[in-house]
Amino acid sequence: MADYIKVLDSDKGYPLDMFCIPRHYEEDLESVLLPRGLIADRTERLARNIVQDMDNSGAVYALCVLKGGYKFFTDLLDCIKALNRNAETSIPMYVDFIRLKSYENDKSSGEIKVIGGDNLSNLTGKNVLIVEDIVDTGKTMQKLLNIVSKFQPASVKVASLLVKRTHRSVGYRPDYIGFEVPDEFVVGYALDYNEYFRDLSHICVINENGKKKYSTQ
């Protein structure tokens, strides 16, 4: 049994008019791939899995990959905090942030830029949980894991809301996966296209009109 929800290539999502979509994006989206409520329920289950796995590990240092990961990170930690309040045992949580950039328009630039993380020495000897929005080819996460490993954490696990099913993948798989999705460019729930669509509640597939409208070129 898979430990993630697989969205099939044949699944084209839900019609936009079945959901509340901001008017300024109505002409820029193909469909709603993952509704906000489904994301919330899946996040709650991932939080439970993480707490069960790390229950006896001591404090957890949660590292959010910005900017796209901030919404998933916030919701995941809220679920973990709720479990901490209502369980016999609880996990102390610390938080930090790092920013990586590898995309320009809908293409990977081939160069991964680390724009944050000056205080990663705090990870030394800690149990680290890296929280990411999406793993595409896996190259970005592999680079981040190499960076983190230099600070000698006690352990490192990765939780990603999405993993893209693509022939460009290097084969990397996170420890915790929310959804495996087709090779489409998705936006919303803090995932962006050139900084647009972060204010969209659902995860949607962008259309060609949206790509053209918000292109940097």
Task: Please tell me the distance from the alpha carbon of residue 64 to that of residue 160, in angstroms, as a whole number.
Answer: 10
Active site residue 78: no
- Is the peptide bond between 67 and the residue preceding it cis, with omega within 30 degrees of 0? yes
**Per-residue DSSP letter, 67:** T
C-alpha distance from residue 181 to each of 27, 96, 117, 190 (Å)? 22, 27, 29, 16
Per-residue tokens: 213: 């409208």
Q: Of the listed 136, 175, 183, 192, which one is catalytic?
A: 136
CA distance 76 to 189: 13
Q: Which residues are catalytic?
A: 136
